[in-house]
Structure 1
Amino acid sequence: MSTSRPCTGLRQLTPYEPGERAPAAPLAAFTRRLHAERALEPSRRRRGHTSGAPGDPGRFDPRRARRILAAVLEVCDGRRAAAQLRGHLGQEVYQRLAARGPDAGERYALRTFHAGAPADDVVEAFGTVSASGGRVLAVAARFRLLPEGMRCTVVDLVGRRRPGPETAHPARDLRPRPSPEIRVPRQRRC
C-alpha cells in the first residue's frame, strides 16, 4: 500500500547537512603560528596596542574594556554598586553613575562589542545592548590609557526610556539632568 503526501504546493528540499568535519587541531596550530608571526611584524601592529604583556597597565585589553562596560550596565540596572567601579571610571563618569538611581525594572546585557583606537592613548568602543522587553539599545564609551591603567572616561547609553514628562533626548543618558523644580517651557513647532 502506498501512502500519498498531501499536496502543499511546496517541493521537498534535499537535505543539505554539512559533512563530517576534519580534526581542528592542525588548523588551530596553523592559526596560532600565523598570529604569532604577524604580531612580530611592526607594520601589523595597530595603534593603541603596545607590546607589553597582557595585564600591563599601558596596554589596551579589549576583554577588560568589555567587562568594564558590562559592569557599567549592571550599575545602570541596579545589579552592581557604582563604588565597585571607582578604579575603572573617570571621576566625572563615576559621579554621574553614583548620583543616578537604577532604572526600575530594566535589565541590560551587553551583546556586541567593538573597539578602535583613534589615538595612541585613547580607545573608543561601542556595542549593542539587550534591554528588557526585547528592546535593543546602543552604548558608546571612551577609554584612556593612563600610567595607572585603563579608565573609562565617557559612557553613553542611547535609546533608554525614561518615565515622566521631563524626558529629554535619550542620548543624554549619563549627563546631569535639570532638577525637577526647574521647568523649561516647551516651544511650539509649526
Structure 2
Amino acid sequence: MSLPAFAEPSPGGVVLHALTHYEPTHETDDPGPLGRWSSLRPVRGPQLTLVGPPAEPVAPTPEVLGRLVCHVLEVLDGRRSVTQLRTILSDPAYEALLTRLRMTTPGRRHRLRSLHTCYPTSTAVELSAVIEVSDRSKERPRIRAAAIRFDRVDDRWHCAVLRIL
C-alpha cells in the first residue's frame, strides 16, 4: 500500500510522509529495470528437494521398561536412592514414589513377576506390572499391581504416572 507524498493532517493531528527508500515510485511511464526474476531462461538443477515424513519416535523396548520398573522397586527396597530416578520421573510420579517410600516398612523385598506393555500412541507407553512383596517375618508374599505410563517429552521418555495398588 502506498501513500501520497504529503497527506493532510488527520483529525487526530497525525501527518503521514512517504519513506523515499521504501515506498515505490508513482511514475507509470518508466517501468524501471526488471528484477532478477524476469529471466525467461529455464532454471537448471533440482527445483525441489523431497523430504520424507518425520520419523516416528522410537518407543523403549519392554526390556528397557522392565529395567526402569526394577529401578523403582530397588528404591522401594532401599537399595537405590530415590534421587537417582528424579530425571525420569515427572513431579507427580516423584511425589507418589516418595509417599510410597515413606509408607513402606523397611526390610520388604519387591520383585517384578510380570510386565505387560501397551503403546496407545507413538508418544506414550503404558505398563501394567505384577509385583511380589515379601516380608522376612511372613511366609507368604503379597501380590501388588502397578500402573505406569511413560510419555515422550521433547527427546526423552518421562514417567508421567506411577501407581502401585
TM over 0.5: yes
Report if aligned partners of 1:92, 1:153 keep a CA contact under 8 Å in 2: yes
From the two aligned structures, give the one with the greater helix fraction: 1
CA drift at 1:96: 3.2
Match of 2:128 among 114, 126, 134: 126
Instruction: Name structure 2 gaps, 5 residues minimum.
Output: 1-53, 135-139
What is the TM-score with the length of structure 1 in the denominator? 0.49
Cα distance in structure 1, aligned partners of 2:58 and 2:79:
29
Give me the identity figure in percent: 31
Q: From the superposition, tell whether residues 84 and 136 of structure 1 become closer, same or farther in structure 2 (CA, over 3 Å).
A: same
Report the equivalent of 2:72.
72
Give the letter for the 2:149 counterpart: R
What is the RMSD of the two structures over their aligned residues, measured on CA atoms? 2.1
* 1:42-100 residue CA offsets vs partner (Å, 9 max, x unmatched): xxxxxxxx967xxxxx3211222111111112212222111011111112211332354
Letter in 2 for 1:155: L
- Pairs aligned (count): 104
Counterpart residue identity of residue 94, structure 1:
Y
Amino acid at match of 1:88: I
1:144 partner amino acid:
D
What is the match of residue 59 of structure 2? 60
Q: 1:134 to 1:114 in 2, by over 3 A?
A: same
d(CA) in 1 for partners of 2:55, 2:116:
21
Could you say which structure has the higher strand fraction?
Answer: 2
The structure having more radius of gyration, on CA atoms, is 2
**Matches of 1:103 and 1:76 in 2, distance apart?**
9
Where does residue 93 of structure 2 map in the other structure?
93
Residue in 1 aligned with 2:154? 147
Q: CA deviation at 1:154?
A: 0.7
- 1:148-187 to structure 2, matched below 5 A, reads 148-158=155-165
Contact 2:97/2:162 (8 A) holds in 1: no
Match of 1:111 among 100, 110, 113: 113
Residue aligned with 2:87, SS: helix
Aligned residue type for 1:70: C
